[in-house]
Amino acid sequence: MILVAANHIKKVYGEKILFEDIFISIEDSDKIGIIGINGTGKSTLLKILADKETVDHGEVVTSNDLEIEYLPQNPIFDENSSVIEQIFKGDSPIMKLLRDYESIVEEINNQPDNHDLQQRFINLSAQMDRDGVWQLESEAKGILMKLGITEFNQKVMRLSGGQRKKIALAGALIRPCNLLILDEPTNHLDNDTIDYLEELLKTKKCAVVMVTHDRYFLDRVVNRIVELDQGKLYKYEGNYEHFVAFKAQREEIEERIREKQVSSYKKELEWMGKGVEARRTKQKARQDRFYELEKNLQDNNKQHLDISLGTSRLGKKIIQIDQITKYFGDQCIIEDFTYTVLKGDRIGIIGNNGTGKSTLLNLITGNIACDKGVIEVGETIRIGYYTQENKEMDLSIKVIDYIKDRAEYIKLIDGSTLSASKMLERFLFPSTLQYTTISKLSGGERRRLYLLGIIMQDVNVLLLDEPTNDLDIYTLQVLEEYIDDFNGPVISVSHDRYFLDRVAEKIFVFEGNGKITSYPGNYSDYHLRKQEQDKSKQDSIKKAKIAQDETKSSKHQTIAPKLKFTYKEKLEYEKIDEEIAELENTLKNIEDDIAAYATSFTKLQELTAYKQKIEDQLTDKLSRWEYLSELAQKISDQS
């Protein structure tokens, strides 16, 4: 069933046409990811689909049964409401009933002897029974707890930005709907929360439309990709991995068409250049064809981001972190941490919100001081620090002036120079946009400008604090390529698993209470190692319990029974060698596949997860073989 259909719609902001004559329909089984360069109108399209904004042309047709729940990038909160009140906002009868019930519960807690309140509580409870609302209330609190929110009656005004985002997300997930629209749902969420959200959305019984830059998230949740590109809409069936393949095919076809157009254009240009008198004798239709070709070539001038900047020289000493400790009040954020930053370091930093990830970057830059220990920075070091908030950006100045304040000219990796204006063009800020004020840019465009401003300052150490928040996928891809060529260390705080897999070669895990643990490899390597450690702990606990049970059992045994195989154990013992050999062969094939797919991050993650599964099965089989072999030996000794 089609829930929403937007037909031939057009949207204009000022003089800029965001999109024109596009069509999109959403069916009840769709899980759609919308992608595109920042400023192309992704969030605006979501608002139109959510009936939060009107179109300038065209129409949006909706089903009579449509129920929409919309999560904007920056949700608006009632500061005086409690967490649970914020969750149960909305005009549906179920939401009103839940609000009334939660309100009565709180009043009764304050006035337990009030008989009127008790009667209202009984009546509301009966109505909750009739309408089957208890499950929804339980689900709401369960989701909040999964998101790390446990104080349901706490006032919103006392919550951090990250906690508020989680409450807004929980509310969108809980309130009944058949179309869920999410604008950047993974921003400011930690990795465990994103994993949970992934599983929830994959199984949620409603259509989902979202804008997100998280490529693993797109890969695992969506079944359709919609790309906004220069005012046009392109649709792809499948997840992000399918999109990458299909888009490459589309652009290859478009390039062949463009080559033919260029050839035709050159012929028409030669004809048009033969002089006014000659053209008068020619067909008007041919002149029209020339101007149409010219327009098409201009329209097909594909947007392409490019950063090919040089890096200033690094000295022998870069950054030395020596036994630093940092407290905020009574809370230990970093304790006795030591590390020497090396030239080729590519470090990814992960951990739950509030564990001190950004604090480490601020200590390195000197924005805050250590309580103990010392951080020494080499004399030749020029740090570029991309912060989450970029509060220092003056929104009243022009785009071109913002960049010129940092550098009039920039040195490229090949030794040539480029003006600030030309560099802005490479970063998708055309000349018409360069002389507008920053305040008129979209949030994503501001972040892209802020990133350009940092890397244009001839830096040789790069600190990135959540660079994937508000940056589109294309900008992230170019940033990743820039990091590949960057001739200095890069330290990135990020919740984006794809980004960390792509750029990190070492992971710092902020585990809380000041503890920082280092793991070699990228995020997937760390994740597998963590799974192995967790399994090892569980196995140790199981073995200890088995030993304890055996000790207790032996105290009550007077005569040891004669050992023998059960029928099932006998069959298992006869087949186990063959099963072990088969698992070992499977492992070898997986390792061959891993080598073959070395450049496909999504496929690699699938293969490494499958490898871990087979290794776990093999470990279990070997343990079982050891047990059965010992039992067989004991049975033989008894004979």
The residue type at 349: I
Report the C-alpha dihedral over residues 248, 252, 253, 259, rounded to 10 degrees. 160
Of 100-109, 211-220, 222-231, 591-600, the poorest mean pLDDT is in 591-600
- ∠ CA 224-226-227 to the nearest 5 degrees? 145
Cα 209 to Cα 35, 51, 504, distances in angstroms:
11, 14, 30
Q: How far is CA 529 from CA 482, 526, 534, in A?
A: 29, 5, 9
Which DSSP category does 453 fall into?
H
pLDDT band at 605 (very low <50, low <70, confident <90, very high): low
Residue 421 Rama label (left phi>0; alpha psi -120 to 50; beta)? alpha
The residue ranking higher by pLDDT, 28 or 457, is: 28
> Shortest CA distance to 243 belongs to which of 477, 11, 468, 20?
477
Other beta carbons within 10 angstroms of residue 96's beta carbon come to 13
Q: Is 190 exposed, middle or buried (0-12, 13-18, 19+ CB in 10 A)?
A: buried
More confident call, 150 vs 528: 528
Integer CA distances (angstroms), 184 to 51, 132, 392, 488, in order? 18, 32, 24, 31
- Looking at beta carbons, which pairs linking 189-192 to residues 24 or more positions away fall under 8 Å? 189/162, 189/165, 189/495, 190/350, 190/351, 190/352, 190/353, 190/495, 191/350, 191/495, 191/497, 191/523, 192/352
Name residues whose C-beta falls within 8 Å of residue 448's C-beta, 6 or more positions apart in sequence: 38, 427, 428, 471, 472, 475
Structure tokens at 620: 């279990």
Q: What's the average model confidence in pLDDT over 514-529?
A: 91
Report DSSP state, residue 112.
T
Parallel, antiparallel, or unpaired for β 409-411 and 417-419? antiparallel
Average pLDDT rounded to a whole number, residues 589-616: 71
Q: Is residue 549 packed enough to be buried (19+ CB in 10 Å), middle (13-18) or exposed (0-12)?
A: exposed
Interval 66-75 mean pLDDT: 91
CA 170 vs CA 34, 144, 173, 568: distances in Å: 21, 6, 5, 48
Residue 346, pLDDT > 70, answer yes
* Banded model confidence at residue 536, pLDDT cuts 50, 70, 90: confident
Q: Which CATH superfamily is domain 1-67+178-251 in?
A: P-loop containing nucleotide triphosphate hydrolases (3.40.50.300)
Predicted confidence band of residue 558 (pLDDT cuts 50, 70, 90): very low
Do 489 and 506 touch, CB atoms closer than 8 A? no
Lowest mean pLDDT among 190-194, 278-282, 525-529: 278-282
Q: Determine the Cα–Cα distance for residues 118 and 113; give it in Å rounded to an integer.
A: 8
- For the ranges 138-142, 346-350, 537-541, 572-576, the one whose mean pLDDT is highest: 346-350
Q: Please determine, for residue 508, whether its predicted confidence score (pLDDT) is greater than 90.
A: yes
156-185 tens-digit pLDDT: 888 877 788 888 898 899 888 999 999 999
| Residue 327 three-state SS | strand
Query: Which band of pLDDT confidence, cut at 50, 70 and 90, is reported for residue 382?
Result: very high
The answer on pLDDT for 502 being more than 60 is yes
Please give the average per-residue pLDDT across 81-108, as a whole number.
80
Cβ-count burial of 77 within 10 angstroms (0-12 exposed, 13-18 middle, 19+ buried)? middle
Sequence-distant (6+) residues with CB within 8 A of 628 are 569, 572, 573, 576
Share of the chain above pLDDT 90, in %: 35
CB atoms near residue 52 (< 10 Å): 13
What confidence tens digit (pLDDT) does each residue in 614-625 have?
877 887 788 788
Q: Beta strands 346-351 and 506-512: pairing type? A: parallel
Retrieve residue 145's tokens.
């707890």
pLDDT value of residue 95: 77
Could you report the per-residue pLDDT of 430-454, keeping only the tens digit for each?
888 899 999 988 888 888 899 888 8
pLDDT of residue 595: 65
The CB density around residue 143, as the number of other CB atoms within 10 Å, is 20
How do strand 506-512 and strand 515-520 relate by DSSP bridges? antiparallel
Q: What is the dihedral of CA 46, 50, 54, 60, to 10 degrees?
A: 100
- Which residue has tokens 């465990």? 192
Which of 139-148, 383-392, 399-408 has maximum average pLDDT? 399-408
Residue 530 in this model has a pLDDT that exceeds 50: yes
Residues whose CB is less than 8 angstroms from the CB of residue 356 and which lie 6 or more positions away in sequence, other chains included: 326, 333, 334, 510, 514
Domain 562-639: assigned CATH number = 1.10.287
Local confidence band at 334 (pLDDT 50, 70, 90 cut-offs): very high
Greater pLDDT, 186 or 89: 186
- Looking at residue 310, its pLDDT comes to 57
DSSP state of 1: -
Flag whether pLDDT at 309 surpasses 70. no
Buried b (16+ CB within 10 A) or exposed e, 293-308: beeeeeeeeeeebebe
Mean pLDDT of 356-366: 94
| Homologous superfamily (CATH) for 319-521 | P-loop containing nucleotide triphosphate hydrolases (3.40.50.300)
Query: Looking at residue 244, what DSSP letter applies?
Result: H
Query: Tokens 């450049």 belong to which residue?
Result: 599
Return mean pLDDT, the chain.
83
The encoded tokens of residue 545 equal 């319990």
The amino acid present at 46, given as its one-letter code, is L
3 state SS of 328 = strand
Q: Give the model confidence (pLDDT) of 195-227 as tens digits.
A: 889 999 998 999 999 999 999 999 999 999 999
